[in-house]
Structures are given as structure tokens and as C-alpha cells.
Chains A and B, each alone.
Chain A
Amino acid sequence: MALKEEKVLVIDPDKCTGCHSCEMACSIQHFGKCHSHYSRIRIQEFREVNTFIAVTCQACENAPCIKVCPMNARIRLESGAVVTNEEKCIGCRACIYACPFGAPVINPDTGKTMSCDLCMDDEIGPWCVKACTLQQAIKFVNAQDAARAKGRDMARIIAEDYMPPQQEESEFAFSFSVD
């Protein structure tokens, strides 16, 4: 089987600062107005320990929301994103309770559900990702790379035990600059 070339959102809770820029970006991109309730990505705050988790549609391979939808309104787009077809949706919210992440949100204007469409073909790409340029808490990467990057981060921690002691940079420079 060929490697999947789809791109996916990868979230790193350790880098999230709880600034809600992604929510603001999402809501204004899709609705032209600003409020967290209009955002498809939501920051769940655990303020007392300064921990913030971004919850958004993970576009699961085997998506329960697609199966559970009685109207077949949850559909997968070519980009891999799983979205609600608002014309078919009856606002029963079954996709929310079937979703292990509680990721779909309710559109406050229509009462139907909505979830991340990866900003479709917008030239900026997913707006939440760009809004997080400095913090890098949400990235948009190839599906295969998502696993590799995370794996490498973990491996680095293990590898430190197996590495030689770090050399001082100046020492290093000296040994190679003598003619």
C-alpha cells in the first residue's frame, strides 16, 4: 500500500499557551465574526495548572461519526477532512456523542454540527496553524511525518542516556582550527 499523502493537524499540548488565537482565526475565517463558539477548534483550559488542550476533529481513519450519522451527513472530503453536510444534517448531535474527543461543535446559528474542514482550499492553509506560527502548538504535516516527529521526540529523550557527554563548542572549534 502506498504511503498516504494526506496532511493532518498535529497538536502539541506542551506548547499551547492558551491564547485562543486559533479559535479567533477559525471563527473569522468561516463566519467573518469572532467568538469561540463559532470556532471548530476549541481550547480546553485547565487554568489552575496552566495546561491547555486544543480539541479539534482528528479526521479518524475509521471515523465513528460517519458511521453513526443517521442522515449520512458526515462525509469525508478529498483532503481527508471529515465534515458535516449542512443540507443533510438534522442537528441530532449523534456525531458529538460518538466522537471519542467530543470534537464536532454546534454551529450557534443553525444548531447543526460542524468540524474542521482544514480551511478547504484557502491559500493560507489551515488558519489555526498559521495563527500558531510562533508557538508551534498546532502543525499541519504529512500523515506519515506526524508519527515520525513524535517518535523522534521520544527517542531523543531515550537517546540521551546513550550519548557521549556533550563537548563544549569552543573546544570543538579549537581542535579543528589549528592548521
Chain B
Amino acid sequence: MSDFHGWRGQRLRLDMTNLTYEIEKLPMAYMKKWVGGRGMNTDVVYHESWAGMDPLDPQAPLCFGSGALAGTFAPLSGRTTVTAVSPMTSSVMGMDVHGHGDTNMGGAFGPAMKYAGYDQIIVKGKAKKPTWVYIYDDKVEFRDASHLWGLGSKKTTIKIVEELNDPDIRISCIGPAGENLVRFACVINNMSASGGRTGMGCVMGSKNLKAIAVGGTKPITCADPDKFKKQAWDLRDRIHTSPSAIRRRAEGSMDLFDVGNAIGINAYKNAFAGYMPRIEEVYGGMQWAEQFLFRRKGCWSCPVSCGRYTLIKEGKWAGYHCGGPEMESNCNLGCRIASYDLAGVNVLCGMANDLGLDSISAGAALSWTMECFEKGYITEEDTGGIRLEWADIEGSIKVLNMIAKREGYGDILAEGNVRVANKLGKGLDCVPHCRGLEHISVDPRITMGFSLGYAMSTRGSDHLKNYSCLEFPGCARSRAYQIDEIFGPEGAKKFWEDFPKEMTELDTKPVLCTWSEKNKCVADLVSCCCQAIGSWGGAGSWKEAYYPLFKLITGTDMTEDDLFKVAERVINTERAVWLRNGSGIQDDTHVDRFFDEGVVDGPYKGKTIDREKWAWAQQEYYKCHGWDELGFITPEKATELDIPEIIPDMEKGKEICVKWLKSDAKPTTPVFIPEAVRK
């Protein structure tokens, strides 16, 4: 028996070039340094890739990581992190600058990895022909996937289950989009739990790896089962009685639509409009459920089960059923393209899952085309005869298929919006993005915590790296004790003085974001869902919800501070992947339009981001992290976090950064870079 509880203490390395594998034992010191899931993945991606690496290089590592709580009785413990250098993202310095990319998916893949005996699976190399990998305990088989090539994620999963005759097997696969190296292809597990962002499916496709199927027989032991049981029940009880969790169960993540539109933050019309009229009447969770809910769908060990399964009962698409959607899919393939046809939008979501496309970037590609047509930036000549108008579902279906198969205009869109705009030389100002990744459905001009989070996120624009929900008045009110903890007595006093106006101001946000991103990171480290410690009250923060469970299952002597330190180390290492390529302050920003053009409608009509405030917030945020004025990790910080090996990389990166800032090179899309920095 191994010395590990909760953890497995070993990882599996797959070499796709030679079709061999290696099981690597991990020492306890390593587990304590990186903890698991996102942490271990980050370590591998930083240390086994290099500055300037092509993300599709055969030697680029692709990691699937799960944490200590995955596959246990701990609630919400079904998450898996997939990490690699991202082919989707880029810097304003150029398209060939790539950085850290990761994505966190639900489903049951991580737990299955743990049952097979692995904390992590690392894939390197490139198979000569399409291959899928079957892992069962210590047995690893590389199987021919030519009969699966070209199939959607749903069919692939069904075929593999049939082939293995094992209904309990867990499968992560790519759809046609990943095979065809669409830059925003996603990894899908359990039919519809997708690891969408940053193009991890593209990396998987570049290795000719169609699917990984995992199962195993090894139970996960606890260091202190009796106390662990009690603690897990305690957290479950808190979730069972949390009103937000109860609502999330009933409505799915679509419960956020009416909250969102009340403050006018939803991504309407290519995410630049900011407020969609009547959205809650059409898209609201209960309205959706009444029309389309076939059954809920739960990730592993999740009592809430916010996943949905759609059945369209009437109309043109009657009889169509698929997994999903969740709020982001509906918003980005619906509101973003200005459609009120919910059935049609659900079909788009189902298709995106089946084709293996990130629904956010796919929606962004469609809506960019639509806005450019509206403004007359592009014509049918650019698109090979395709014309997309707002709310055109039929056209969108056609284009989604073309993207996944890289046909015609789809081949252009498959590169991701920033690259498309640069290639065509048109519509550069119509790309709402940070670091080449398009914004999600929250407008960055209103809730400034999310806004700062997008820009500072280590994977490009994203709310889930920096889940600063405490900026929302409801969350702050119900968790005042967390405000005290984050800001201290003085800061908290100031916070409440400005309350609830502080939501739309940057003043408190550098501090809040620095805390929130570590809070979220702990959830990823132990493979639990961030919702319980983010948007819902009741469960508390990482400290009340996940640390006790983590300690009891592993029996580790790590203190709360130690775990929080690991979170900081992980965030710094992820950022270092960017920094060593020279991407610092010039990318920690938004596109010009959000500074110049006000929100079109809604309660915050006319609001923009203030440039001066933004420049201040950038510097404050760096100070909170102990970074220098260009956002680079200082040698002292690196030493403090026990990652001194990044120091030479930081020096080289800073040289590139300074050289670019001093040159008169134009950014790839118009973004705000404070003038003081460019001189």
C-alpha cells in the first residue's frame, strides 16, 4: 500500500510518438509543493516547455490533473484541469507569442483517473496515425482510432463504451474541431462536460490523440475517515441548505441571467452592447427548464447537479436532445449573436459540444462576423459568399460546421478572432479580448473586479481565474466576514462606505482580485468546484469549505497558510509562462473600445473604464502580488515562493518586454497601454 491518502502519489506519462508509457512515482515533498490538479499541471507545463515553444510542437506537454479530493465523498469533487501551452492565446506583441492555457472541466474523468491510480496524466509526442488510449489500473493500451476519426464527441464516447463493453469507463475526447486543429477546440468528457477554453482540444488533436478512456479499481483512502466523513457531511449540509445552491439546482447556471441583466452585464451583440432587452423573460432558468429540461445532469459527487440535458419538444428541431447548455453557452451562442430563439440556440450549444468547439470562442467568431457585416467592415468577398446577420441561427449552424471542418470561411474563423481580424486586416476593433482569448458573457465596463480579473488572468480573458464574486452586493452582504478577512478592519470600513457603488469602481479591486484568484486556485488544486466558494454563500471560502477536507483526507501537516502559498506559487508560475515570452503589462489590459465606448443600454448606460484609474489599478495589483512595475515576478518573490529557477527566464522576458514597449510597434489590436509605460 502506498503512503498516500487522498493523493495517489504517481502519474502516468504517455509518449504518443513511440506508443510507450511510464508510471512515475512522486515524492511527498513534490505533492506538498504543487498539491495536485492545476498545481501539478502548471509545474509540468512550465518546466517541460520553453520560451517561444510552438503549442503544437510534438514535445509540448498536455496534462490532465486531478486533486486530492477528486473521486471522494467530498461534495463537488468531480473537476479535472487540463493544461498546456495554449494555441489559442496570443500577445498584443504578435500572434506567435503563446502563454499558459488551461481549462477546468466537470464530469467524472478526474475521479476515474484517481481510481486507476494516477493524480495526473501527461501526454507528449505525436502518434503517426489516429490513436486512442485505454487505461485501466496499471494496464495502458494504445488503440487505433481510425474508425473514430471524424466522429462527434457523443458518438466517439458511445463507440468506445461499446468497444470496451464497460459502461463505467470515463472518456475524454475531441470532436472533429480538435482533429482539424481549430484553435479553440475543446476536450469533452462524459458527453457534454467540456474543457472549453484556450484550445486544449487543439493540442490533443495535434498529438493525433482522439480519446483517453480511464477506469480503475483502486479505492481512495482517507487519513482520518471518521473526521473526514463528519466534515464532508458538514459541507454537504451547508450546500443542501444554501438558497443559491437550491436555486442553481432548479435553474442551472441560467439562474444568473436575471441577476446579470439587472445590472446590465450580459454579452449582447458581440459583447460590446452590454444589455439585452427582455433577456430574463427568454433566457431565465425557469423559462428554459419549462421548455427544454429533460433531466438534470450531475458531475461526480455533486449534490447540486447544475448540469442540464436538453430535449426540444416542439418546433423545427423537435426531438433533438443533447447535453447542456449552461449559462455561458447560452449567452455566447445566443445573446451574443442577438438571438431570442432559444430552441435554435440550444441546438447550437449541442452542436458545439458534439463538434468539440469552445462555445464561448465559437459564439465570439459568429458575432464578430455579424458585427463586421453590420458595420460594413467585411463583405461576402471576404467570407466566400457567406453572409451572417444578427440572430441568424441557420447561418450559424452552417458556419459552426464549417469551422469544425475548416472549410471555406470556417477555415479562417477557426484561427480565433484576433488572428482572423489581423489576417483580413479588418474589424480589429470588434474583438473583445485579453491575450487573444475572447471575453465571456460579463461586460468588463461595469463590474470592475471581473474586469481586472479578465486582464490579469493567467490564461487570457476569463472570469474563472479570478472569481471575485464578492464585488456583487448580494454576495458581499451575506459574507461580510470574508470582507473583513480580505481587507482588514480599515479596508473593510472603506469598502462598506462605498458600498454598493464599489462594484463599479476599481478602488478595492486589486486587493479583492488578489485574494479571489487564490481562493479559486485552491478549489482547482483539490479538484473541487469553485461555485460553492465563489458565487454561493453558505459554504464559506476555501478556508471553511475545502481546506479541512483536504487536511483530513491527506493527513498532511500543511497549514492553511501553506496551502494558500501553494495557490500563489501556482498563479505565479502560470504567469511566468507568459512573462518569459515578454508578455507583461502590455497584455494586462482591455481593448480601446471598452475605454471609449459606453454601455449601450441598461442601468449603467454609458459607463466606460477610466484610463487613469485603470493604470493605477494595474500598478496596485502588481504591488499586491509583489511584482515590479511591468508586472514581472521579482527575484525576491520567486525565491520566497521557492521557484528560483524562473529568475533567469524573467530577466530575459523583461528584456523582450522593454524592447517592445520602447519600440513603436503597434499592438495587434487597439488596446490601452498607459503612456508612461511606453516611454
Which residue in chain B gives the minimum CB-CB distance to A124?
Answer: B233
Asked if B249 and A135 make an inter-chain contact with CB atoms under 8 angstroms apart, the answer reads yes
Asked if B72 and A135 make an inter-chain contact with CB atoms under 8 angstroms apart, the answer reads no
Residues of B within 8 Å of A156, CB to CB, are none
Give the most central of A34, A108, A124, A130: most B CB within 10 Å.
A34
Q: Does A88 lie at the interface of the complex (its beta carbon under 8 Å from any beta carbon of B)?
A: no
Q: Which of A14, A17, A45, A50 contacts B167 (CB 8 A)?
A: A45
Q: Does A172 lie at the interface of the complex (its beta carbon under 8 Å from any beta carbon of B)?
A: no
Asked if A31 and B219 make an inter-chain contact with CB atoms under 8 angstroms apart, the answer reads yes
Asked if A21 and B301 make an inter-chain contact with CB atoms under 8 angstroms apart, the answer reads yes
Asked if A135 and B296 make an inter-chain contact with CB atoms under 8 angstroms apart, the answer reads yes
Asked if B309 and A50 make an inter-chain contact with CB atoms under 8 angstroms apart, the answer reads yes
Q: How far is the CA of A176 from the CA of B192 in the complex (A)?
A: 50
Asked if B157 and A47 make an inter-chain contact with CB atoms under 8 angstroms apart, the answer reads yes
Q: Does B218 lie at the interface of the complex (its beta carbon under 8 Å from any beta carbon of A)?
A: yes
Q: How far is the CA of A5 from the CA of B308 in the complex (A)?
A: 38
Number of interface residues, chain B, beta carbon within 8 A: 49
> Given the known A-B contacts A48-B191, A50-B297, are A28 and B72 also in contact in the complex, defined by CB atoms under 8 Å?
yes
Which residue in chain A gives the minimum CB-CB distance to B71?
Answer: A34
Asked if B297 and A36 make an inter-chain contact with CB atoms under 8 angstroms apart, the answer reads no
Asked if A45 and B303 make an inter-chain contact with CB atoms under 8 angstroms apart, the answer reads no
Residues 5-33 of A, flagged 1 when their CB comes within 8 A of B and 0 if not, give: 00000000010011111001101110111
Residues of A within 8 Å of B624, CB to CB, are none
Q: How far is the CB of A50 from chain B (nearest CB, A)?
A: 4
Q: Does B141 lie at the interface of the complex (its beta carbon under 8 Å from any beta carbon of A)?
A: no
Q: Does B304 lie at the interface of the complex (its beta carbon under 8 Å from any beta carbon of A)?
A: yes
Q: How far is the CA of A135 from the CA of B309 in the complex (A)?
A: 15
Asked if B72 and A34 make an inter-chain contact with CB atoms under 8 angstroms apart, the answer reads yes
Asked if A37 and B219 make an inter-chain contact with CB atoms under 8 angstroms apart, the answer reads yes
Asked if A32 and B225 make an inter-chain contact with CB atoms under 8 angstroms apart, the answer reads yes
Asked if A50 and B219 make an inter-chain contact with CB atoms under 8 angstroms apart, the answer reads no
Asked if B305 and A135 make an inter-chain contact with CB atoms under 8 angstroms apart, the answer reads yes
Q: How far is the CB of B649 from chain A (nearest CB, A)?
A: 40
Q: Does A175 lie at the interface of the complex (its beta carbon under 8 Å from any beta carbon of B)?
A: no
Asked if B222 and A32 make an inter-chain contact with CB atoms under 8 angstroms apart, the answer reads yes
Q: Does B351 lie at the interface of the complex (its beta carbon under 8 Å from any beta carbon of A)?
A: no
> Given the known A-B contacts A19-B305, A50-B309, are A35 and B222 also in contact in the complex, defined by CB atoms under 8 Å?
no
Q: Which of A159-177 contact B (CB under 8 A)?
A: none
Which residue in chain B gives the minimum CB-CB distance to A16?
Answer: B295
Q: How far is the CB of A13 from chain B (nearest CB, A)?
A: 9
Asked if A35 and B115 make an inter-chain contact with CB atoms under 8 angstroms apart, the answer reads yes
Asked if A35 and B75 make an inter-chain contact with CB atoms under 8 angstroms apart, the answer reads no
Residues of B within 8 Å of A29, CB to CB, are 229
Residues of A within 8 Å of B225, CB to CB, are 28, 32-33
> Given the known A-B contacts A24-B73, A35-B220, A131-B236, are A48 and B301 also in contact in the complex, defined by CB atoms under 8 Å?
no
Q: How far is the CB of B524 from chain A (nearest CB, A)?
A: 20
Asked if A21 and B167 make an inter-chain contact with CB atoms under 8 angstroms apart, the answer reads no
Q: Which of B161, B219, B236, B321 contacts A33 (CB 8 A)?
A: B219
Q: Does B108 lie at the interface of the complex (its beta carbon under 8 Å from any beta carbon of A)?
A: yes
Which residue in chain A gives the minimum CB-CB distance to B309?
Answer: A50
Q: How far is the CB of B187 from chain A (nearest CB, A)?
A: 17
Asked if A38 and B303 make an inter-chain contact with CB atoms under 8 angstroms apart, the answer reads no
Q: How far is the CA of A22 from the CA of B380 in the complex (A)?
A: 55
Q: How far is the CA of A45 from the CA of B75 in the complex (A)?
A: 20
Q: Does A178 lie at the interface of the complex (its beta carbon under 8 Å from any beta carbon of B)?
A: no
Q: How far is the CA of A21 from the CA of B158 in the complex (A)?
A: 23
Which residue in chain A gives the minimum CB-CB distance to B225?
Answer: A32
Asked if B168 and A36 make an inter-chain contact with CB atoms under 8 angstroms apart, the answer reads yes
Q: How far is the CA of A41 from the CA of B226 in the complex (A)?
A: 21
Q: How far is the CB of A89 from chain B (nearest CB, A)?
A: 21
Count of inter-chain pairs, beta carbons less than 8 A: 115
Asked if B297 and A17 make an inter-chain contact with CB atoms under 8 angstroms apart, the answer reads yes
Q: How far is the CB of B82 from chain A (nearest CB, A)?
A: 20
Asked if A134 and B240 make an inter-chain contact with CB atoms under 8 angstroms apart, the answer reads yes
Residues of A within 8 Å of B321, CB to CB, are 49-50
Q: Does B190 lie at the interface of the complex (its beta carbon under 8 Å from any beta carbon of A)?
A: yes
Asked if B305 and A17 make an inter-chain contact with CB atoms under 8 angstroms apart, the answer reads yes
Q: Does B302 lie at the interface of the complex (its beta carbon under 8 Å from any beta carbon of A)?
A: yes
Q: Does B217 lie at the interface of the complex (its beta carbon under 8 Å from any beta carbon of A)?
A: yes
Q: How far is the CA of A99 from the CA of B157 in the complex (A)?
A: 30
Residues of A within 8 Å of B303, CB to CB, are 19, 21, 131-135
> Given the known A-B contacts A18-B297, A50-B297, are A35 and B218 also in contact in the complex, defined by CB atoms under 8 Å?
yes
Q: How far is the CB of B248 from chain A (nearest CB, A)?
A: 10
Which residue in chain B gives the minimum CB-CB distance to A135?
Answer: B305
Residues 153-183 of B, flagged 1 when their CB comes within 8 A of A and 0 if not, give: 0100110010000011000000000000000
Q: How far is the CB of A106 from chain B (nearest CB, A)?
A: 12
Residues 122-134 of A, flagged 1 when their CB comes within 8 A of B and 0 if not, give: 0010000011111
Q: Which of B219, B233, B302, B309 contacts A19 (CB 8 A)?
A: B302
Asked if B219 and A51 make an inter-chain contact with CB atoms under 8 angstroms apart, the answer reads no
Q: How far is the CB of B476 from chain A (nearest CB, A)?
A: 26
Q: How far is the CA of A33 from the CA of B2 in the complex (A)?
A: 14
Asked if A35 and B217 make an inter-chain contact with CB atoms under 8 angstroms apart, the answer reads yes
Q: Which of A37, A47, A135 contacts B217 (CB 8 A)?
A: A37
Q: How far is the CA of A51 from the CA of B301 in the complex (A)?
A: 17
Asked if B72 and A24 make an inter-chain contact with CB atoms under 8 angstroms apart, the answer reads yes
Q: Does B539 lie at the interface of the complex (its beta carbon under 8 Å from any beta carbon of A)?
A: no
Q: How far is the CB of A101 from chain B (nearest CB, A)?
A: 16
Q: Does B307 lie at the interface of the complex (its beta carbon under 8 Å from any beta carbon of A)?
A: yes
Residues of A within 8 Å of B305, CB to CB, are 17, 19, 134-135
Q: How far is the CA of A57 from the CA of B158 in the complex (A)?
A: 29
Residues of A within 8 Å of B294, CB to CB, are 50
> Given the known A-B contacts A35-B217, A38-B219, A135-B249, are A50 and B323 also in contact in the complex, defined by CB atoms under 8 Å?
yes
Which residue in chain A gives the minimum CB-CB distance to B171?
Answer: A47
Residues of A within 8 Å of B323, CB to CB, are 50
Q: How far is the CA of A108 from the CA of B217 in the complex (A)?
A: 9
Q: Does A44 lie at the interface of the complex (its beta carbon under 8 Å from any beta carbon of B)?
A: yes
Starting from the known contacts A17-B295, A34-B219, A130-B233, 11 additional A-B residue pairs (CB-CB under 8 Å) come to A17-B297, A20-B300, A32-B225, A35-B115, A35-B217, A35-B220, A36-B168, A45-B167, A48-B158, A50-B309, A135-B305
| Chain A residues within CB distance 8 Å of chain B | 14, 17-21, 24-25, 27-29, 31-38, 44-51, 108, 124, 130-135
Can you list 11 pairs linking A and B with CB atoms under 8 Å apart?
A: A17-B298, A18-B297, A19-B305, A28-B225, A29-B229, A31-B219, A33-B220, A34-B220, A47-B167, A124-B233, A130-B236
